[in-house]
Structure 1
């Protein structure tokens, strides 16, 4: 079972290497592309982690299906049951944390809508009275379409041109459904701790995406930079460090965002640089995903081979070929 342990370690360790690669690639891409790269990497790496745990967890159940007693399984692989128990416990914890995190998302969203119910405005804009200087994109909830919520204090703190930037920024969040990308990365980070870095990087690039959309609307990158800086100085994001579901113009590393707006508009990577970056990320993610799937299928083949060897159960046609290959690669001895 050496190859199984190797695949388990690879499937669970690769996200630690793939996440920095994804963050680095996102740093040289245009904001829109960066967001999709980070979200896709988070989904695939989280999926590979779950597949590896499922593959490890189902060994005793496959043995039962192949008419192998638990005693015979432990004779062939003494660590099978302990590993399966650990994998099951980890998946149970992941499930609890995922459900908890999802309800936290819904709670924040519900609270935000309740706080905005007293607002006045026209169309997608709601102005809420109060001393807090704040503005955020409020996603749709229970049949209500998304709104841009701005406090009256924020309105007073900005010039007319800066208010236009603010509204364009938050509308870009709503139009791009950025809260969904943020939620996906946030939930993926619950599955594997290495993916927390992707969540944080995605939050920054989502703000950059909205910054660029706002600059395009007003037609002046310097005005957009000044508006974001003034809004950040005037208010705060009030503890929304995770960025979901209330994406705000004041969140993220504002100095870096302002610096990016004062620079020329970012362009997508072209030619060899883009191909190398995408190939590096894709290769790492594919290795993680294929490794996890190979683990799940390889464990299935291992149990079938053990059944054939120990109790004479016939291995279904089409399965022995892969197992023969694995035996050739990892050793010819019986399990």
Structure 2
């Protein structure tokens, strides 16, 4: 029983290691690859946690395979039933939270489309009235393609070249389906609290991804940096009112501007990249192995209980 409990603790604690490895790896990669690393780590860590809880919740089922009654198993291991019930309750709570967050996301998206219903089409943009400067990428819904929504105040605040940077930035969000990456990590965080810290990290790298795409399209990194700073700071209040699920946040603007004023991001040295990737892979594999070990350990314990009962 001690070994099983140790495996349970390991399976539920390893997502913290996965998060640390993912953050370190993301810092060493270009924005697009960093986002892939973060989302992959979140999904795999959430899956490992779910597997561990699933194994714990199936103690009565495993006992049934050995043709043991639940009373016989609890006699050999009194904690079997409470642990199984607790694991099942946690899984149920996780499922409710995941479903709730998903419908919250869909509700925000529906409200955003409703707010843009009276927008005027202008050169591929949906222009809405408003005194506050704002612009954001509106994901597609119900066979409607995604759109870039911008207020008239934002258009007045920017020159023609600056508008090109803004449109290219928001277009990159749509093309990369960044809202899906963001909501994936948000849903994964409902499974394990360690994954909550990955959301702001992902938001930052998503913004950096769009920043670099805009800079490439206009061919001027300094112009892109200036526009990103003005637009992000001007629209930060409006984005906070829309909530965290529809559009990614503006992120730490000074760091984004500093990155745009620097050289184009490149992949790190091969040795450093391999080391960081290996650390993430080991953390994820260890988490998965621990989850499988939990299920195997519980099965072995039930078999041992069966042998003890038959020997009586």
CA–CA distance in structure 2, aligned partners of residues 36 and 205 of structure 1: 10
Please tell me whether the aligned partners of residues 28 and 273 of structure 2 are also in contact (alpha carbons under 8 angstroms). no
State the match for 1:290 in structure 2.
Answer: 289
Once the two structures are TM-superposed, the CA of residue 296 in structure 1 deviates from its matched residue by 1.6
Q: State the Cα distance separating 1:203 from its structure 2 match.
A: 0.8
Taking the aligned partners of 1:92 and 1:156, their CA distance within structure 2 comes to 50
Q: Distance in 2 between matches of 1:246 and 1:163?
A: 19
Superposed counterparts of 1:96-107, under 5 Å: 96-107=96-107
Provide, for residues 226-250 of structure 1, a one-character-per-residue CA deviation record: whole Å limited to 9, x for no partner: 00111123222432686422236xx
Contact 2:239 2:247 (C-alpha < 8 Å) held by counterparts: no
TM-score of the aligned structures, taking structure 2 as reference length: 0.95
Please list the CA deviations of residues 86-142 of structure 1 after superposition, one character each: whole Å capped at 9, or x if unmatched: 111111111111111011100100000001111111464211111121111111101
**Residue matched to 2:277:** 278
Gaps of 5+ in 2: none
Return 105-114 or 21-30, whichever deviates more.
Answer: 21-30
CA distance in 2, matches of 1:238, 1:221: 24
Q: Is the contact made by 1:136 and 1:247 (CA closer than 8 Å) also made in structure 2? A: no
CA contact (8 A) 1:170 1:247 kept: no
CA RMSD of aligned residues (A): 1.6
Distance (whole Å) between structure 2 residues aligned to residue 161 and residue 58 of structure 1: 61
Match of 1:254 in 2: 253
Moved more, 127-136 or 222-231: 127-136
Q: How far does residue 302 in structure 1 lie from its aligned partner after superposition?
A: 2.9
Residues matched between the structures, number: 310
Contact kept? 1:16, 1:194, Cα under 8 Å: yes
Contact 1:15 1:195 in 2 (8 A): yes
Following the alignment from structure 2 to structure 1, what is the Cα–Cα distance between the partners of residues 304 and 77?
13
Deviation track 1:131-155 (CA, whole Å, cap 9, x = no partner) reads: 1211111111011010011111111
Separation in 2 of the partners of 1:296 and 1:148? 48
CA distance in 1, matches of 2:26, 2:16: 16
Tell me by how many angstroms 1:202 deviates. 0.5
Equivalent in the alignment of 2:167: 167
Matches within 5 A, 1:1-335: 1-122=1-122, 124-236=124-236, 237-239=238-240, 243-247=244-248, 251-311=250-310
**Which structure 1 residue ranges, 5 or more long, are not aligned?**
313-335
Deviates more, 1:105-114 or 1:16-25: 16-25
Q: In structure 2, how many angstroms separate the alpha carbons of the residues matched to 1:20 and 1:295?
A: 23
Aligned to 1:279, the other structure's residue is in SS state: helix
Secondary structure of the 2:148 match is: strand
Alpha-carbon distance change, 40 to 94 in structure 1, aligned in 2, over 3 angstroms: same
Please give the secondary structure, in 2, of the residue aligned with 1:48: helix
Provide the rounded CA distance (Å) in 2 between the counterparts of 1:177 and 1:185.
13
Distance 2:113 2:265 in 1: 35
Which fold has the larger relative contact order, with Cα–Cα distance below 8 Å and residues 6 or more apart in sequence? 2
Q: Distance in 1 between matches of 2:123 and 2:303?
A: 63
For 2:147 and 2:64, how far apart are their aligned partners in 1? 54
Label 1:82 to 1:135 Cα distance change in 2 as closer, same or farther (>3 A): same
String of CA shifts for 1:14-72, please: whole Å, max 9, x gaps: 11122122111101110011000000000000000000001111101221232211221
- TM-score norm. by structure 1 comes to 0.89
**Counterpart Cα distance in 2 of 1:98 and 1:43:** 13
Q: State the Cα distance separating 1:84 from its structure 2 match.
A: 0.9
User: Cα offset for 1:310?
Assistant: 2.4
The separation in 2 between residues aligned to 1:98 and 1:284, in whole angstroms, is 24
Report the 3-state secondary structure (helix = DSSP H, G, I; strand = E; otherwise coil) of the residue aligned with 1:238: helix
Contact map agreement 1:46 1:191 (CA 8 A) in 2: yes
